[in-house]
Chain A
Amino acid sequence: MMSETQQLSLDLKRMIIDTLELEDITPDDIDEDAPLFGEGLGLDSIDALELGLALQKRYGVKLDAEAEDTRRHFASLAALRALVEAHRDV
Chain B
Amino acid sequence: MNYLALTGSPWQRAAGESSAQPADWCSARTLAPRITAWRIWLSSQAEGRWLLFQTDPMEFTAALLALWESGRSAVLPGDNKPATLRRLSSMVDGIIPPYPPQVPVQAPLSQPPNGQQCAIPAPLPLQAQREAVVLYTSGSTGEPVMQPKRFQQLEDELDQHAKLWPLEGCAVVSQVSHQHIYGLLTGILHPLCHGVPFSARDSRYPETLAERLMDAQKAGLAAVVVSSPAQLSRLPEHLHWPAITRRVFSSGAPLSEADALRSEQLLQAPVIEIYGSTETGGVAWRRQQQSACWTAFPCVDWRIDQGKLQVRSTFLEHPEHWWLQSDRAASQEDGFHLLGRADRVAKVGGKRISLTQIENCLSLLEDIHAARCLPLAERDGRLAIVVAMEPESIPRDHETRRSLVERLRNILGDELDNVAIPRYWRFVEMLPVNSQGKHDNALLSRCFADLDDDRQPRWLGEVSNCAGNVVIHLEVPSRLRYLAGHFPRFPLVPGVVLVQWAIELATEHFGELGTFCAVERVKFQKILRPGLRFSLHLERRDDGIAFHYDSHHGRHASGRVVFTQDATHD
Chain B residues engaging chain A, CB cutoff 8 angstroms: 201-208, 210-211, 230-231, 234, 236, 238-239, 348-349, 379-380, 398, 401-402, 405, 409-410, 413, 417-419, 421, 423-425, 451, 477-479, 530-531
Given known pairs A42-B409, A49-B231, A70-B207, the reply for A23 and B425 (CB within 8 Å) is yes
- A43 interface residue per 8 A CB criterion: yes
A42 pairs with B413, CB closer than 8 A: yes
B207 pairs with A42, CB closer than 8 A: no
A65 pairs with B207, CB closer than 8 A: yes
* Contact of A49 (CB < 8 Å), options: B203, B205, B421: B205
Cβ contacts under 8 Å, B424 to chain A:
23
B208 pairs with A66, CB closer than 8 A: yes
B207 pairs with A24, CB closer than 8 A: no
User: Within A35-51, which residues are at the interface with B (CB < 8 Å)?
Assistant: 37-39, 42-46, 48-50
Further contacts, 17 of them, CB under 8 A, given A37-B418, A67-B207: A23-B478, A23-B479, A25-B402, A26-B478, A26-B530, A38-B418, A42-B409, A45-B419, A46-B230, A46-B348, A50-B234, A56-B238, A62-B239, A65-B208, A67-B201, A67-B202, A67-B208
Residue of A with least CB distance to B395: A24
B208 pairs with A24, CB closer than 8 A: no
Chain A CB within 10 Å, residue with most, of B202, B211, B236, B451: B236
Given known pairs A24-B531, A56-B238, the reply for A42 and B418 (CB within 8 Å) is yes
A46 pairs with B349, CB closer than 8 A: yes
A69 to chain B, nearest CB (A): 10
B238 pairs with A21, CB closer than 8 A: no
B402 pairs with A29, CB closer than 8 A: yes
Cβ contacts under 8 Å, A37 to chain B:
418
- A63 interface residue per 8 A CB criterion: yes
B478 pairs with A39, CB closer than 8 A: no
Given known pairs A44-B349, A49-B230, A49-B231, the reply for A39 and B413 (CB within 8 Å) is yes
A21 pairs with B423, CB closer than 8 A: yes
Given known pairs A24-B531, A67-B203, the reply for A46 and B208 (CB within 8 Å) is no
Cβ contacts under 8 Å, A24 to chain B:
398, 401-402, 405, 477-478, 530-531
Chain A CB within 10 Å, residue with most, of B203, B207, B349: B207
A22 to chain B, nearest CB (A): 8
Cβ contacts under 8 Å, B477 to chain A:
23-24
- Interchain CA distance A70-B203 in the complex, whole Å: 12
- Interchain CA distance A64-B206 in the complex, whole Å: 10
* Contact of A45 (CB < 8 Å), options: B402, B405, B418, B530: B418
- Interchain CA distance A5-B240 in the complex, whole Å: 32
Cβ contacts under 8 Å, B208 to chain A:
65-67, 70
- Interchain CA distance A21-B425 in the complex, whole Å: 13
Given known pairs A24-B405, A52-B206, A71-B205, the reply for A43 and B418 (CB within 8 Å) is yes
B447 to chain A, nearest CB (A): 12
* Contact of B236 (CB < 8 Å), options: A21, A25, A52: A52
Q: Which 6 pairs from chain A and chain B are nearest by CB?
A: A65-B211, A44-B418, A49-B234, A65-B207, A44-B419, A67-B208
Cβ contacts under 8 Å, A62 to chain B:
207, 238-239
- Interchain CA distance A22-B418 in the complex, whole Å: 14
A72 to chain B, nearest CB (A): 12
B412 to chain A, nearest CB (A): 10
- A53 interface residue per 8 A CB criterion: yes
Cβ contacts under 8 Å, B423 to chain A:
21-23
Cβ contacts under 8 Å, A39 to chain B:
410, 413
B230 pairs with A48, CB closer than 8 A: no
- Interchain CA distance A47-B531 in the complex, whole Å: 24
- Interchain CA distance A74-B418 in the complex, whole Å: 16
- Interchain CA distance A65-B209 in the complex, whole Å: 8
Cβ contacts under 8 Å, A70 to chain B:
205, 207-208
- Interchain CA distance A48-B398 in the complex, whole Å: 26
A13 to chain B, nearest CB (A): 13
